[in-house]
Amino acid sequence: MPTMPTVELHLHLEGTLEPELILALAERNRVDLPYADPEDLRSRYEFTDLQSFLDLYNANLDVLRTGEDFHDLTAAYLARAATAGVRHAEVFLDLQSHTGRGLRPEEVLDGVTAALDTSRERGLTSGLIVTLMRHLPPEGAVEAVRQVLDSGAEVLGIGMCSTELVRHARDFAPAFGLARAHGLRLTSHAGEEGPPQHVADVLDILHVERVDHGVRAMEDPALVERLAADQVPLTVCPLSNVRLGVFPSLGEHPLRRMLDAGLLVTVNSDDPAYFGGYVDENFRQVTAALDLSADHLRTLARNAVEAAWVDDARRAELR
């Protein structure tokens, strides 16, 4: 029995929107959708790159209209995570994608945190990370951080996602600086579709503590040396990388080489409703494809616990 990870650190709540839930929410909110049934929708989940995925991912957000919808989305994810053996999850929320459609930040944040609180009472701890959208104007990112701070909602950190091929990390320095000044933890997507330099940029300019994806860092030996020396956690998502064409197959995924280079890598699911599996499935498939050893698996499990933003007492429990 391989050691399964019990900590999930790279998961977009919106990416857990399963076709069945999309159709149920559409009916509840009287949203007209062009899909006949869940299978019809699922058959469109063939992506050529990150942007082709983001287009469908963003279009499907239209069914999320109320705080209750965000509660139900989060509760459904947490129930699925518990069956995967997850004991601690740090989850991303694209707040700007919802306020941009006219929702109030408090309504979205309260819906999500209510579900996280209920699950915490049952032993699954969590943290909420609001992800700033790199494709939107940076002024909106500052506004989103202000909304998080003003809401009083329990938010653990700030991240950044969406396409990496527009704007420079420095454009988001004001938003990340504001978050840092208020004690929020920091992470960012980088080195997924963008070059290794993007990984260095988010570390040097935004002062992030973790990097989401970071797989293309492997193209730069000096950067690999730095990431290994500093033990910067990289939240890797194998099934996502293959579905979005970052690597041609799981067998060609660099995860094993990253482990062997001494990088602090973790295995995560990204957008499991779209990419073919939750964290347990990512673990199973990558273990088989790369013939990972018991030692590799133990290291992956330990890395996730060490990279989690939890206090010492919870870290000791998770070990």
Q: By CB under 6 A, is residue 90 in contact with ligand ES4?
A: no
Residue type, 19: P
Of 173, 89, 179, the C-alpha closest to 138 is 173
Query: With CB cut-offs between 5 and 8 Å by kind, which of ligand ES4, Zn ion, none does residue 138 bind?
Result: none
Which of 121, 192, 193, 225 is the catalytic position? 192
Q: Which of residues 241-270 bind Zn ion (CB under 5 A)?
A: 270
Q: Please identify, using beta-carbon distances, which residue of 186 and 305 lies nearer to ligand ES4.
A: 186
The reply to whether 219 belongs to the active site is no
DSSP 66: S
Measured CA to CA, the distance from residue 164 to residue 51 in angstroms comes to 10
Distance of CA 46 to the CA centre of its chain: 20
Known binder of ligand: residue 189? yes
How far apart (Å, rounded) are the C-alpha atoms in residues 189 and 131? 9
Task: State yes or no: 10 annotated in a binding site.
Answer: yes
User: How near is the Cβ of 212 to Zn ion at its closest, in Å?
Assistant: 5
Buried b (16+ CB within 10 A) or exposed e, 140-171: bbbbbbebbbebebebebbbbbbbbeebebee
In the complex, least distance from residue 282 CB atom to Zn ion, rounded to whole angstroms: 13
Residue 69 sits in the site that holds Zn ion (CB under 5 A): no
Widest distance between CA atoms in the chain: 54
- Three-state secondary-structure class, residue 134: coil
Least separation in angstroms between residue 92's CB and ligand ES4 is: 7
Over the Cα atoms of the chain, what is R_g? 18
Residues 254-283 within binding reach of ligand ES4 (CB under 6 A): 270-271
Residue among 294, 319, 193, 177 at smallest CA distance from 245? 193
Helix (H) or strand (E) holding 58: helix 50-60
Number of residues that bind Zn ion (CB under 5 A): 1
User: Looking at beta carbons only, is 275 or 283 nearer to Zn ion?
Assistant: 275
Task: List binders of ligand ES4 among 216-245 (CB under 6 A).
Answer: 240
Token reading at 299: 């290291």
Scanning residues 269 to 298, which ones bind Zn ion (CB under 5 A)?
270
Q: Which is nearer to ligand ES4, 275 or 283 (CB)?
A: 275
State yes or no: residue 211 binds ligand ES4 (CB under 6 A): no
The reply, when asked if residue 72 is annotated as ligand binding, is no
Nearest to ligand ES4 of 189, 210 (CB atom): 189
**Is residue 98 close enough to count as binding ligand ES4 by CB under 6 A?**
no
Active site residues: 192
Q: Which residues here bind ligand ES4, judged by CB under 6 A?
A: 12, 15, 50, 161-162, 189, 192, 240, 270-271
